[in-house]
Amino acid sequence: MLTAFLDYYRADFLDRAYGLTSAQLQVSLPPSTLSLSRLIGHMTLVEYSWFQDRFDGKGEPEPYASLGWEADIDAEMTLAETWETQELLERFKAAVADSRARESAAESLDQLSAQTNRDGEHWSLRWILIHMVEEYARHCGHADLIRQSIDGDLAR
């Protein structure tokens, strides 16, 4: 059930970009700098961060591992703005596929992460999945507002 809800929100989130050009994906609602491309770039990193880095302990892949976070705290979003629509969506889909593979390879939802939080505690896969549902649900709301401002489409 957890993975079904997560997959629902992943699809719902990605649907907000359906049919838009690269220029439309960069539209933001001032004073916010959030755009659909920035949100998709952020969620691409979030997928890798939670499943590949924290859960499996394998670190974040390039190009994320080398980003200049000190100079730009939203570096993953800034990077995403440089990608054309097809590359942006392919990178997102690859991150989701990687996360799904790591989740399905886990022994159980009780399996603990390789990495720990600031208190030295491990996250369970169950906690990570619930957190990801929450993360996508929040960003789907942002994406809804941005998409509506572009072409009036509330939901596909």
User: What is the tally of helices (H) and strands (E) in the chain?
Assistant: 6, 2
- At 141 the pLDDT is 94
> 64-104, pLDDT tens digit by residue?
999 999 999 999 999 999 999 999 999 999 999 999 999 99
Structure-token pair, residue 147: 């998409």
> 59-75, pLDDT tens digit by residue?
999 999 999 999 999 99
pLDDT at 154 over 90: no
Domain membership of residue 37 (yes or no) is yes
Structural domains in the chain (count):
1
Contact indicator for 45, 76 with CB cutoff of 8 Å: yes
Domain CATH for 57: 1.20.120.450
